[in-house]
Amino acid sequence: MTERLTGMFAALMTGLDDSGQFDAGRQRNLTAHVLKQGLAGLYVGGSSGESGLLDAAELAEQQEVVADCAKDSGAVLIAHVGMPNLRDSIRLAERAAELGYHALSALPPHSYPFSDAEIEAYYRDLAAATDLPMIVYEVPVRTGRPIALDALERILDLPNVAGIKFSSMDLFKLSMLRRRRPNSRYFFGYDEVYLSGAVLGADGGIGSTYNILGRLYVALNQAVREGDLPRAQELQDVSQIFVEALLKTGVLSGLKAAFRIQGVEVGRTRAPMALQMPDDAAEAHMRAVMDRPEVAAWL
């Protein structure tokens, strides 16, 4: 299965109803929209899916809805199962395996300042819970601190651990890790500088803005693989225009506004996450950037 863990994966967003509850119908519509964009697959239940604001039962329901939507699509499904406690993480991992997911991923344990040894033990136990390959996760913005390089090396050596989603701007660390563990899979997690991670050896990307601009990121990755640096730079510039607009609305809130502009109702983000400007202003702001010819060409 690990040979299919390459290319571009949307960090799938979550459909909520108008009261903020998980909405299976909206999740189906959202998922169908993203699946049309030619991506390698979907990363389900991660940070872009508001997993830190959902409970384990909601995430399990989302897993089921997405698996059903994608069953005939050929998409590779990675279930993010990283909860604050190991017990819920294992339950989500086992459910994903039952539903036919192809791989798992997980944030390191969070909510407390866990040691590197505790993080390593967490991944050892979680990776052993199923036969699915595990993509571990370096994301200091969520956990509050980076994992030490030597600890990441040990984690990548664990049974069933296939690779890492690297969401850090420490590109030297990414390069060192790739050189020291060349047989692992590397996914880069910062959409706006994906090109940097790709030229340093990333096998693909997992990103939130892929939900809207999936076709662009597929083309960007292809340009890198073909050695067409001017084309890759051109496409990365378009990505940055879109990401820069999102920074003014809040990334997830702005992406949900972008879905609404495209006629896909996915609800608002769950409290306490909120737009950084009023709804009407946010939609006008996102519509303006989506109407720009260089962006509109990829919608």
Cα 85 from chain centroid?
Answer: 20
Q: Which has the higher per-residue pLDDT, 276 or 16? A: 16
- pLDDT band of residue 115 (cuts 50, 70, 90) is very high
- pLDDT band of residue 257 (cuts 50, 70, 90) is very high
According to the model, what pLDDT value does residue 274 have? 85
Rounded Cα distance, 45 and 251, in Å: 16
Q: What is the mean pLDDT of residues 197-204?
A: 97
According to the model, what pLDDT value does residue 143 have? 86
Mean pLDDT of the chain: 96
Question: Where are any strands of DSSP class E within the chain?
Answer: 7-11, 41-44, 76-80, 103-105, 134-138, 161-166, 185-188, 204-207
Q: What is the mean pLDDT of residues 53-66?
A: 97
Taking residue 192's Cβ as centre, other Cβ atoms within 10 Å add up to 18
Give catalytic status of residue 194 as yes or no: no
Catalytic residue among 101, 122, 137, 194: 137
According to the model, what pLDDT value does residue 144 have? 86
Give catalytic status of residue 36 as yes or no: no
Whole-model pTM: value is 0.97
Taking residue 131's Cβ as centre, other Cβ atoms within 10 Å add up to 9
According to the model, what pLDDT value does residue 248 have? 96
- pLDDT band of residue 110 (cuts 50, 70, 90) is confident
- pLDDT band of residue 218 (cuts 50, 70, 90) is very high
**End-to-end Cα distance, the chain:** 31
Catalytic residue among 165, 186, 210, 217: 165
Rounded Cα distance, 177 and 173, in Å: 6
According to the model, what pLDDT value does residue 201 have? 95
Question: What is the C-alpha radius of gyration for the chain, rounded to an integer number of angstroms?
Answer: 18
